[in-house]
Chain A
Amino acid sequence: MTLPLSFVFFVLLGLSVYFYYHAKSGIVRKAALLSDRTKALPSHYGQQSFLWAFIPSLLILLVLTIGGPNYIDQIFYNKIQELNPTFNESFVSLILAKVINVSNGKISTGEENIIMLAKDYKIAFEQLHFYRGLVVILCAALLGMIISYRQKPGSNAREQVEKFIVNIFFASAVIAIFTTVAIILSLFFEALRFFNLYNFFDFIFGLHWAPNVAIRTDQVAAEGSFGMIPVLLGTLLISFIAMCVAIPIGLFSAIYLAEFATPKIRDFVKPTLEILAGIPTVVYGYFAALTAAPFFREIGFSLGLDVSSESAIAAGAVMGIMIIPFISSLSDDVIRAVPQSLRDGSMGLGATKAETIYIVILPAAIPGLIGAVLLAVSRAIGETMIVVMAAGLSANLTVNPLESVTTVTVQIVSLLTGDTEFDDIKTLSAFGLGLALFFFTLLLNIFALSISRRLAERYD
């Protein structure tokens, strides 16, 4: 007998709803027997039964659904290894994958051992599903009965329900912490495995990036070298070009919109710029690769310059366009946050509007503007699709914007989308780059956010 996930879930839901009504009518009866009034509304007792039955069982269901298959895989992994002690780890994993595919009916095989194991595997899964369903449903039924039995008209169900809900709310807020921790841990441990295979300092300070490792052990290939300096330099070069485009245009647009524009113009331009911000990055990538890159090549050609077809300038310029609305809307907010009294004071002393802007408003807004720019830089460094589509793959150590450079994100994508094994040094090096990227952007973000917060506090 199999109990599929959806069936178990709906039985669980049904049971919990049943306990809701059971407790709701039960408490009224109990109160009538004692000729007493319930301390909370009857529906609160119902909610209490529902939550007590539903939430713990749901958690058990989740744990079993996620953990169960892994546990079975581990058992079969050990079984295969016991049967053939001479096999190495990756070969055992290979056999296990075969067993799983045979048991799903995805592939067929003539090897009897594997067919036997696949049968056992299927049975183990059926058992898992059966016991998962049984445990979850029994747990819900038991918890629901206990809580309904224990409810007394004198107990304040509302308070208890609310305490429970607050805890659930707290748990969802803590997910933000968990996500950060999970990012750091997963990147850190994979990167640590990489640094076991490759010297940390060679990675940080190496001047040569060429991750061409032999995929099979018998293949003749150059020893891969993973020095991240050229990749980092490429990232900074493209981000720099992007900032050269985005900062002046974004800032001047923001100044104009905040200080000069009539409300009509503002109402038209702001949403239009927001459209620019809402266009997916893959579209900018397409534009950079198919329109901007040939355009820069043509211009370079007519000037007698040799522009690479994957030039840094094409990717950087398009990235700059992408970032314009980001900078303009953040700076617009910052400039408008400068108190009106400063403007009035300056104008009252006879300054022109331009002088007010240059001498009073911009200096007052400068921390916020720096914060906005730093956030934009962090965004440019982490931007992926534009550079994947328009920048190159080879890591040239150059600051010439006409040549092709590569970036951290391009390398991560190219290292992880190929068909490589998970423990491969190439794959692991991507996590090394990911860790570097995460810390770099994290520092920028924290710095930027703290600067902007200081500004906000100053004028509060």
Chain B
Amino acid sequence: MIRKSIQSRRARETRLKIYGITSICFALIMLATLLISIGLNGYSALQQAYFKLDISVNTEKFVDDSGAPDNNKMNLFNWDGLVQSALREFFPEVKDRDEKKELFAIISANAGYDLKEIIKKKALGSGSHTLSVWLHLSDDADQYLKGRLSIDIPEEDRRINNKQIAWVNSLVERDIAKLKFNKTFFTSADSREPESAGILGSVIGSALTLFVTIMFALPLAVMAAIYLEYFAKPGKITDFIEVNVNNLAAVPSIVFGLLGLSVFLSTFGLPRSAPLVGGLVLGLMTLPTIIIASRASIRSIPPSIREAALGLGASKMQAALHHVLPLATPGILTGTIIGMAQALGETAPLLMIGMVAFIIDIPTTFTSSATAMPVQIYMWSDSAERAFYERSSLAILFLVAFLISMNLLAVVLRKKFEKKW
């Protein structure tokens, strides 16, 4: 009987272990599924369908009377027409008006604009030039070439019809169109056309925002932590501050967005969509995280160090600033990196203060309209074009890779500077 009961008791232990292992495996599998599914969605955005055009331009058309380049004339020139007529040379059989329209739909709607920018950048000398340029195909042709548009469904439900497919295929056969590395994705800001959209604008927006966040939150948090650890007299105010810090760490992030909306935007009248406001809101949000981490780090420094400093005649302030703070810096940095990673991935408060606008320009100042990386991901995954999903996934991969390396850096720092006193 005892043996039987031991058996059942052991079985119970095995069951518990199995539950534990299953749960951990489930969590890890989910992590893998998440990353793999996003990776599979996104890797193809590293490439983009381009086509090569040989174009002859006469730069004398774009100079004013004195011979200096005239941007206005350049902007007024019919670049789309130039691209379209060059494209038609490949398909002389296309005559019909509707057919022409269909043909022009396989190249990017921004092709003319892109061509103008390329020519502007080249700064050609005067006279006529013939150059071959690579321009974007449309997002639908791009998706077709990557095999992401299924061509099994009926023609009228597809975004690309049989004729267009034939044209694209013939361009590929003639080696005029092909998939190349998607440089645009890393060098431009948002666009209505997926093929011209990139993450640079949102990356810079995020960088500006994080800069404000760290400048705001880190000094305040360190000062608050030193105060709470060494100078606060036990009492109601100190208790109240501690309760507040702990609570703020658990307040939903969207509430900070509401705070930013009603305090920074309506009361102080700061500009909407600005990295300055975004940074302040995220700073308020990460402040408690950094305070808590800094306090823990300060507390882990043995009291003997401070006591020795005090014993040799240092004041309380000198003991804290000259002796404890330098030793606590690695811990504070670790906490700050984790707080910054949290701020970098945060989306909801930024939606509240209007950083969710469609912005084509790359932001340059702290008050210019900007968006941030997670918001860009959110906007892209909300749009209808299939090609935006792909870009959204790729943007996620970059964001997650960056966040993971930030977190790993924090772990490494912690390991490296961890001291057993």
Contact = CB atoms under 8 A, between A and B. Distances in A.
Contacts of A328: 27
A180 interface: yes
B378 A385 contact: yes
B411 A256 contact: no
B86 interface: no
Contacts of A431: 258, 262
Contacts of B250: 375, 378-379, 441, 445, 448-449
Nearest to A174: B241
A409 B348 contact: yes
A244 interface: no
Contacts of B220: 172, 175
Interface stretch (A76-84, A135-143, A281-289, A391-399): A281-289
A272 interface: yes
Interface string A229-272: 00000000000000000001111110111001100000001011
B377 A282 contact: yes
A434 interface: yes
Interface in A265-306: 269, 271-276, 278-287, 289-291
Contacts of A252: 16, 19-20, 22-24
Nearest to B24: A253
A449 B23 contact: no
B17 A260 contact: yes
B268 interface: yes
Contact of B315 (A69, A158, A276): A158
B9 interface: yes
Nearest to A414: B351
Nearest to B317: A162
Q: Which of the four size classes fits the interface of chain A?
A: 35 or more
A431 B262 CA distance: 10
A325 interface: yes
Contacts of B118: none
A182 interface: yes
B16 A280 contact: no
A102 B254 CA distance: 34
B255 A445 contact: no
B246 interface: yes
Interface in B170-213: none
Given A180-B244, A352-B13, A169 B252 contact: no
Nearest to B30: A321
Contacts, number: 270
Q: Which of the four size classes fits the interface of chain B?
A: 35 or more
Interface string A59-70: 000000010011
Nearest to A289: B381
Interface string A154-172: 0000110010011011101
B1 interface: no
B253 interface: yes
A434 B241 contact: no
A3 interface: no
Contact of B378 (A176, A275, A282, A382): A282
Contacts of B254: 382, 384, 409, 412-413, 434, 437
B231 interface: yes
A256 B345 CA distance: 30
B255 A278 contact: no
23 contacts: A162-B316, A166-B231, A176-B224, A186-B258, A248-B23, A278-B403, A279-B345, A280-B346, A282-B345, A282-B347, A287-B37, A287-B38, A354-B15, A358-B16, A381-B252, A388-B348, A412-B352, A417-B352, A434-B254, A434-B255, A438-B252, A438-B255, A442-B251
Interface of B: 9-10, 12-13, 15-17, 19-24, 26-28, 30-31, 33-34, 37-38, 41, 219-221, 223-224, 226-228, 231-232, 240-241, 243-248, 250-256, 258-259, 261-263, 266-270, 284, 287-288, 291, 315-317, 341-342, 344-348, 351-352, 354, 356, 374-375, 377-378, 381-382, 389, 392-393, 396, 399-400, 403-404, 407, 411
Closest 6 CB pairs of A and B: A382-B252, A256-B20, A280-B345, A384-B348, A169-B227, A354-B13
Given A176-B248, A388-B351, 18 more contacts: A66-B269, A252-B16, A256-B21, A257-B24, A276-B30, A278-B404, A280-B374, A283-B38, A286-B377, A291-B37, A321-B34, A354-B12, A354-B13, A416-B258, A416-B352, A437-B255, A438-B251, A442-B247
